[in-house]
Amino acid sequence: MQTITVSRNDDIYEAFADIARAADGTLVCTYRESMGHGPRPWSKVVVRRSYDRGLSWGARQVVVERTREQTDGGEGRLNCSRITTCRDGVMLLIVDLTFRKGREMETCGARNLFFRSHDHGATWQGPEETGMTEAIVPSIKELSNGDLIVGLTEHQAGEEGKGIIETQTVYLSSDRGRTWEGPFKVPDPGEPMVTGHYWRLNEGDFVELDDGALILYMREDGEGLSGWKSISWDGGRSWSTPVRTRMMHCLGRPSVGRLRSGEIVVTYRIGCGLSTSLGMHVETPDEARRHLPDRHGYPCSGGDPQVRFAFLDNDRSICPDSGYSGWVQRPDGSLFVVNYINDDAPRAQIRGYCVGREDWFLFPEGAIRFDWASDPEGQGHVARQDVIRRQRAWADGQDWSKRVPTQK
């Protein structure tokens, strides 16, 4: 794995990165600048572009900003930006503009703003008002039917001593983002918490499977032990009772998408104790459906877990802050991941990672296998090599130009 500095300016705080691959192959990274983790005392959403698969990055371009004077004057603070490329080549960038009082994460109002680029991220038109308010930290995908889907998190002040209540919501647009339906709310899990607190599902992101099922992967801050997932069979308008994923300590925004092979990748912040790390969870579509209801309401089951996991980075700083990430798959099959991290910098920086399949799994793309058959003669490695050869032959026979739904 190769590590690359996308942007580092020790005089400002660069955070909450995301990335998309433009139709011409340009990589476009977006992130927010401010002076700290929160968007204070000023905030800017910027993009940088790379023409060499992420190995070097061009000058920053400011898409939208709020000066100190504007913020002090009540015009809000720019929080988290997300970016995607549609099938027609148009790039979309969405950012939540919040109106918090001080540092409080209470019901504060928000405006989610839309920007469009028709020239591979070189220039941006906007902002466009979406009408999506009272919810923050967006995710955005284009579905196979052309609809846009956005995930947002509602924050409300809880009862005294309860802190903040969070609700995962979903919005849909069938006219390229000009009007929106929603919010469609995701229910809380149906089981009691191990820790005895209350559920806080938030910051979800989506994949679409080949049969049209939508899987929503979510962070959860109440119990704090795992990520969760929910399924929709009606295009995102209703969602099943969430079930646990195998994503341990998912305490930072999941960034979700599909590989050209159809496998699902989730990068996210792992929050364990005082540490924050960047993790990568990979699973098959069958694993994604596990324990979720099928079209008839019956939960899907399966055999061995079809999941692999890797740590991509660990924030060594005395004040670690990292793990809001984005990723794309490059034409050679490798991934380019962006992440914000304090680590060895006085303030957060944007770091990139070139991740090959060999960095997390020594098996060709398209399947996640486990083979530990009885081997009294110590020759199991021979049989396993045959399994690998067959999978390699399958991968070599694929037409990788054919896109799968929500491929990144």
Residue with tokens 């992967």: 217
Residue, of 238 and 371, whose pLDDT is higher: 238
- Please, are residues 31 and 14 in contact by the beta-carbon 8 Å criterion? yes
Query: Which has the closest alpha carbon to 400: 236, 277, 261?
Result: 261
- Which residues are within 8 A (CB) of 83 and not within 5 positions of it... i.e. 6 or more apart? 18, 19, 20, 28, 30, 47, 91, 92, 93, 94, 140, 326
Q: CA 11, CA 366: separation in Å to the nearest integer?
A: 44
According to the model, what pLDDT value does residue 284 have? 97
Q: CA 248, CA 268: separation in Å to the nearest integer?
A: 10
Mean pLDDT of 315-323: 97
Res 372 pLDDT > 80: no
According to the model, what pLDDT value does residue 105 have? 46
Res 405 pLDDT > 70: yes
Q: Is residue 404, in this structure, part of any structural domain at all?
A: no
Domain that holds residue 378: 2-396
Greatest Cα-to-Cα distance within the chain, rounded to the nearest angstrom: 76
Residues 16-36: tens digit of each pLDDT: 999 999 999 999 999 999 999
Q: CA 9, CA 58: separation in Å to the nearest integer?
A: 14
Q: Is residue 187, in this structure, part of any structural domain at all?
A: yes
Q: CA 392, CA 387: separation in Å to the nearest integer?
A: 9
How far out from the chain centre does Cα 48 lie? 19
R_g over Cα of the chain: 21
* Side-chain-side CA neighbours of residue 279 (13 Å): 23
According to the model, what pLDDT value does residue 106 have? 47
Q: Is residue 163, in this structure, part of any structural domain at all?
A: yes
Residues 345-357: tens digit of each pLDDT: 999 999 999 999 9
Token pair in block for residue 363: 């098996």
Structure pTM? Answer: 0.96
Q: CA 397, CA 392: separation in Å to the nearest integer?
A: 9
Q: CA 288, CA 266: separation in Å to the nearest integer?
A: 11
Range with lowest mean pLDDT among 79-83, 232-236, 298-302: 298-302
Q: Is residue 401, in this structure, part of any structural domain at all?
A: no
**Tally of domains within the chain:** 1
Residues 243-279: tens digit of each pLDDT: 999 999 999 999 999 999 999 999 999 999 999 999 9
In terms of C-beta density within 10 A (0-12 exposed, 13-18 middle, 19 or more buried), how is residue 138 classed?
Answer: buried
DSSP 343: T
- Please, are residues 7 and 13 in contact by the beta-carbon 8 Å criterion? no
Q: Is residue 406, in this structure, part of any structural domain at all?
A: no
SS3 of residue 297 by DSSP = coil
Residue, of 383 and 259, whose pLDDT is higher: 259
Mean pLDDT of 121-147: 96
DSSP 24: T
CB atoms under 10 Å from CB of 392, counted, come to 14
Give, for 124, the enclosing helix (H) or strand (E). none
- Which residues are within 8 A (CB) of 323 and not within 5 positions of it... i.e. 6 or more apart? 251, 252, 253, 268, 269, 270, 271, 276, 277, 278, 279, 315, 339, 340, 341
According to the model, what pLDDT value does residue 108 have? 61
Q: Is residue 145, in this structure, part of any structural domain at all?
A: yes
* Average of per-residue pLDDT values in the chain: 94
Q: Could you tell me the end-to-end alpha-carbon distance of the chain, in angstroms, rounded to an integer?
A: 19
72-99 burial by CB neighbour count: b if 16+ within 10 A, else e?
eeeebbbbbbbbbbbeeebbbbbbbbbe
Question: In degrees rounded to 5, what are phi and psi of residue 373?
Answer: -70, 160
Q: Is residue 408, in this structure, part of any structural domain at all?
A: no
Q: Is residue 225, in this structure, part of any structural domain at all?
A: yes
Q: CA 42, CA 25: separation in Å to the nearest integer?
A: 32
CATH number of 135's domain: 2.120.10.10
Residue with tokens 């020790």: 10
Residues 60-71: tens digit of each pLDDT: 999 999 999 999
